[in-house]
Structure 1
Amino acid sequence: MTSFLDPLIAFVSAHAWLAYLTLFLAALLEAVPVIGSLVPGSTIILALSALVPGGELKLWPVLAAAVAGAVLGDGTAFLIGYRSKREILATWPLSNYPSVVQRSEEFFHRWGVLAVFFARFVAPIRAFVPITAGALDMQPSRFYAVNIPAILLWAPAHVLPGVLAVTALHDYAGLPHHGHVGKHIWMLAIVGGALVVAFAVWAFRRRHGGGVIETVKSTK
């Protein structure tokens, strides 16, 4: 893997636009069933994010490329499943991975709409849950309401470790780096924390709210 990534990083660091395109494609392909299990999308994103402290790449375009690729990949997979229904799960190439498809279905049935959120952070199910959600007739509005916040957290979770690690290395070695990175990281941490809290409240109300309502109705 290192022999593949080293020349890739060296090349794209000299061509910023290609680096952003690579990030976009890595995030997109990681969301494609089967292909997402083979393409080291997360590794590529983490590796390229290490170019941010040195100024070869900018933090916000890196995040935007990763988010855009993931949204397009997940959304396309979901719509294919939504239009094809369960038949797509028994069609090639998914038919070659019955155990993963079964795990994705079980994961979806166990967690319901929350499976779309959790799957963003779990490989290789991440590449199968969107199409499974569509095949099981999940409504598009519900899918995107959970999928997009998950991606907005997933992207920084993959980008920031590389940025922080290289920034710390630069500080330790006395090498220059762009000071604005720290300010942006704090901003992302605050926004990410707010998203986590908001989603946790929403998930709690969704899971327990119905029971509370029924209890109130029964007492009237």
Structure 2
Amino acid sequence: MASLIDPLIEFVSAHVWLAYLTLFLAALLEAVPILGSVIPGSTIIFALSALVPGGDLQLEWVLSAAVAGALLGDGSAFWLGHREQREILNCWPLSNYPHLVARSEAFFRRWGTLAVFFARFVPPIRAFVPITAGALGMSPPIFYAVNIPAILLWAPAHVLPGVLAVSALHRYGGFASHAGIAKYCWILAVIAGALLIALWTWIARRRREGAVIKPAVQSDRGKL
């Protein structure tokens, strides 16, 4: 992954408008079902934020590009599901990934409206919940009332850690080149991703344990 991210940063640092376009597309494609589960959009956004402290990119435009891409991606997926209804979940290419569709539907049914908010921070469910919400009949006003605040939190959560990390590297680490910065941003992105996966695994395990304990308790009460 580093071999892909490093040249990307070097290239977009020399073509600023492409940097903003890359940020926009990374955020947009993360919301596309199937494609969003394999595109490292969050890593790209985190890595490109390394160019903000050096003045290559402007923070407000980086945030704007990420927000705009996420809004368009989530909104398009939602409206596709809203228009096609549940049939879309059984059509190609979603039909080739029944386990991810099932996870997304279970996630949505468990958390309801809040699933739209939580999913923005949980890959790869993030790429499936908007279309699932539309397919299962969530109304557009409710979807956007939850989705927009989630994206407005998600964008800074992805951009600002990279900005702060690189600012610290500039100040205390003595790194001035984009290559050195890119390397350490990629490492930080991998660590952040691992922590998110660990957190999600812990939550899922706790939920399964709770599901096992609850029937057992009810069974004991029935015997009494």
| TM-score, normalised relative to structure 1 | 0.79
Task: Give the Å deviation of 1:175.
Answer: 7.1
What does residue 78 of structure 2 align with? 78
Q: Tell me whether 1:169 sits opposite 2:159 in the alignment.
A: no
Query: Structure 2 CA distance, aligned partners of 1:137 and 1:56?
Result: 44
Larger deviation: 165-174 or 53-62?
Answer: 165-174
**What whole-Å deviation, never above 9, does each CA across 1:142-164 have from its counterpart, x for those lacking one?**
00000000000000000011100
Query: Structure 2 CA distance, aligned partners of 1:96 and 1:121?
Result: 24
Paired AA for residue 104 in structure 1: S
Query: Structure 2 CA distance, aligned partners of 1:113 and 1:158?
Result: 23
What does residue 8 of structure 1 align with? 8
Query: Structure 1 CA distance, aligned partners of 2:50 and 2:162?
Result: 5
Q: Could you say what secondary structure the match of 2:26 adopts?
A: helix
What does residue 125 of structure 1 align with? 125
Structure 1's consecutive aligned runs of 4 or more residues displaced over 6 angstroms after TM superposition are: none
Query: Structure 2 CA distance, aligned partners of 1:122 and 1:159?
Result: 16
What does residue 111 of structure 1 align with? 111
**What whole-Å deviation, never above 9, does each CA across 1:75-114 have from its counterpart, x for those lacking one?**
0000000000000000000001101101111111111000
In the alignment of these two chains, the number of paired residues is: 176
Query: Structure 2 CA distance, aligned partners of 1:10 and 1:72?
Result: 27
Identity score, percent = 77
What does residue 61 of structure 2 align with? 61
Query: Structure 2 CA distance, aligned partners of 1:8 and 1:73?
Result: 22
What does residue 150 of structure 1 align with? 150
**What whole-Å deviation, never above 9, does each CA across 1:150-200 have from its counterpart, x for those lacking one?**
000000000011100000111114678xxxxxxxxxxxxxxxxxxxxxxxx
Paired AA for residue 33 in structure 2: P
Q: Tell me whether 1:135 sits opposite 2:135 in the alignment.
A: yes
Alignment of 1:208-219 (within 5 A): none
**What whole-Å deviation, never above 9, does each CA across 1:193-217 have from its counterpart, x for those lacking one?**
xxxxxxxxxxxxxxxxxxxxxxxxx
Paired AA for residue 52 in structure 1: V
Q: Could you say what secondary structure the match of 1:123 adopts?
A: coil
Q: CA RMSD for the aligned pairs?
A: 1.0
Q: Could you say what secondary structure the match of 2:56 adopts?
A: coil
What does residue 93 of structure 1 align with? 93
Query: Structure 2 CA distance, aligned partners of 1:157 and 1:120?
Result: 11
Alignment of 1:24-35 (within 5 A): 24-35=24-35
What does residue 22 of structure 2 align with? 22
Task: Give the Å deviation of 1:38.
Answer: 1.0
Higher relative contact order (CA closer than 8 Å, sequence separation 6+): 2
**What whole-Å deviation, never above 9, does each CA across 1:29-56 have from its counterpart, x for those lacking one?**
0000000011110000000001100000
Can you give the 5+ residue segments of structure 2 that lack an aligned partner in the other structure?
177-224
Q: Could you say what secondary structure the match of 1:54 adopts?
A: coil
| TM-score, normalised relative to structure 2 | 0.77
Query: Structure 2 CA distance, aligned partners of 1:112 and 1:90?
Result: 21
